[in-house]
Chain A
Amino acid sequence: MSGDTARIERAGPEEITPGERDSYLTHETGILSWLLTEDHKRIALLYMFGVTIFFFIGGAAAVVMRLELFTPGSDVVEPDTYNRMFTLHGIVMVWFFLVPLIPNTLGNFLLPLMIGARDVAFPRINLASWYLFMTAGMLLIYAWIAGGVDTGWTFYTPYSTAFANSHVVMAALAVIIAGFSSIATGVNFIATTHMLRAPGMTWFRLPLFVWAIYGTSLVMVLATPVLAASLLLIAAEHALGLPVFDPARGGDPVLFQHIFWFYSHPAVYIMILPSFGVISEIVTCFARRRVFGYNFMVYAILWIAVVGFLVWGHHMFVAGQSLYASLVFSFLSFVIAVPSAIKVFNWSFTLYRGQITFEPPMLYALGFIGLFTIGGLTGLWVAAVPVDVHVTDTYFVVAHFHFIMVGGAVTAFYGGLTFWWPKITGRLYPMGWARFAAVLMFFGFFFTFFPMFIMGYLGMPRRYQVYPEEFHVWHVMASSGAVLLAVAYLLPMGFLGLSILRGARAGDNPWDATGLEWCTSSPPPRENFRTPPVVRERPYLYHPDAIGPGHETREPHRRQGQQS
């Protein structure tokens, strides 16, 4: 039986003959077959396991912070502990959750499938990168149990090098190792995209998710090494007293910020670019439309990947950077808003006159578009130097980046997870609960983070545990919203987890989507495709060119990996 034919019906449990459908999950059994696997799909699940653990750790730190901030005084933790909490939250959420989130879970699983390959270019390096990631994570957890770091996730000098009495070196080392994992992944994905595409899969027939992962990988490879350099210098100065940023000996502490942000700004594009890819896949499928302006969507991804390296100084407007440089960085920061806007416009035009249905992934995607737009617009405000002088280091900036990273990237991840869950596990989940969780996430997020814009503008500084009474009401709103948000994050873990045990079995293509990954069985076999696909079409051919999607049928006009 060929797994490549697209069937719309859902296969019930009684229709599966055991042994006939050997998937990557059943191909080999035993713990070693997972820990020593070279299968990109299993490695994706290993990463999923890892990032979930770190999500809980970073989330626990956030819980402590929001509990503390419920009241203006210092009553839950000591000030020093609070410093360690927001540092833990930042380090874990940035490097151990968001950076690997979509690329290493969904990207690892889907990239070879979407291009019609049997695996990534270097499968053993793929496994090595997971081990590097987990080693780094364990080192970080040890650093925390041993007392933690209180410098903030940004490790600013000269505090981190000359004055901090916490485990700066261990934390820096953990982040460096996580960075190596990131670089290995980036190299792997770039080589895979260049060299393992199926016959007929030309560059401009690639799904936008592949382009997004490719752009992300470029950024990972070029930016992360500079982070390693900056943290290496921090560690050397802290541990060995080798003065590099020491102002007493003529060093420039702001120079650390230059090379730190040279990585950390592109890092935020590492976190958001894959989300763009996910949203493009979801919106096209559930509006039953080709993406509007495919070429410009590709150029926008590349534009963001490149120009993202030229804007880092906007984190340093008040740090002592020259006004001239600040103006250059400010201008470039405005420039980089353009491709993001192009993408939002194109998603909107994709929706226009579509046959929209509100499956859970679509609800997440629509939530993403709204929250990302707000986050992006506020980014323009902080890119303006005079506004930033007022709101820098306040909750305004905190709200801005959480709207993008949490309202954007995490929402997109949940959208992608619910979209590709049937493909990954071969199971369907209850749609009602999933829709509820999606809507709850949107409102929980809004109640948590929108008040932060207001209180930030009114002057509430970030990283402060004690605050004046005037900000109390906003903090109460934020902390309460966080409860809703937490429920919205936990609910999908519940029903998705249950679906593995009790969910209805999914067919090859439960959403009637057009990508190559939907041309193989759910879950896919070890070698991805029983017969290697040949590509003859552009992506997203949900309806014929001059005619919009019909409402009579959901069948796509043409699938990418098949003859019509």
Chain B
Amino acid sequence: MSGLGENLPQTAREIWRRAVPVWAALTLLLGLTCGLAFVPLGSGNVMVALFIAVIKALLVAVFFMHLIRPDPLLRLAGAAALLWLLFMFTLTFSDILTRPRPMQPGTVTPRTFDTPAASGVRAF
């Protein structure tokens, strides 16, 4: 635990030296993901874009948010949220992907009304 930051950079030079390379990598990845979006990869586009986003997020989390410092409690807190997101996504998709055809949204379009019944009418 480094609560008072005894072993951390103390001069402006050191602080910039640690931060700027991370920023440079992030900017490069931004250019990469933007460029790759124009390359036709079919369904791979989404995969690649999200993969690069994950790398960028990890860079921010590890270096800017100091997860590189050996503090097990903070790493645990970060990991816990990710695990819970996994729970939410996995089980919801286990429903969405296994529904029989008649129960899938969009397969049976209900009668539409000319004007929606109440949406937008009452805000408060």
Chain A contact residues, CB within 8 Å of chain B: 161-170, 194, 222, 226, 237-241, 247-248, 250-255, 258-259, 262, 309-310, 312-313, 316, 320-325, 328-329
Contacts and interface: CB of A to CB of B under 8 A. Distances in A.
A160 to B, nearest CB: 10
Contact of B95 (A168, A248, A313): A313
B70 interface: no
A202 to B, nearest CB: 15
A243 B19 CA distance: 42
Given A222-B81, A222-B84, A250 B120 contact: no
A324 B117 contact: no
B7 interface: no
Nearest to B92: A258
Interface string B89-104: 0011011101110010
Contacts of A165: 118, 121-122
B110 interface: yes
B89 to A, nearest CB: 10
Interface of B: 73, 80-81, 84, 87-88, 91-92, 94-96, 98-100, 103, 105-106, 109-110, 112, 116-124
A247 B92 CA distance: 18
Contacts of B122: 165-169, 238-239
Contact of A321 (B84, B95, B116, B119): B95
Given A169-B123, A322-B98, A324-B98, 8 more contacts: A164-B118, A169-B122, A222-B81, A237-B119, A255-B105, A259-B88, A259-B92, A309-B88
Q: A-B pairs with the 5 shortest C-beta distances?
A: A325-B95, A252-B105, A322-B98, A241-B120, A250-B106
Contact of B94 (A169, A226, A262, A328): A328
A108 to B, nearest CB: 22
B123 A329 contact: no
**What is the interface of chain A mostly: helix, strand, loop, or mixed?**
helix
Contacts, number: 91
Contacts of B123: 169, 238-240
B87 A324 contact: no
B112 A248 contact: yes
A309 B84 contact: yes
Contact of A222 (B80, B103, B117): B80
A310 B90 CA distance: 10
A325 B110 contact: no
Contacts of A310: 87, 91
Contacts of A240: 120, 123
Contacts of A324: 94-95, 98
Contact of A325 (B94, B105, B116): B94
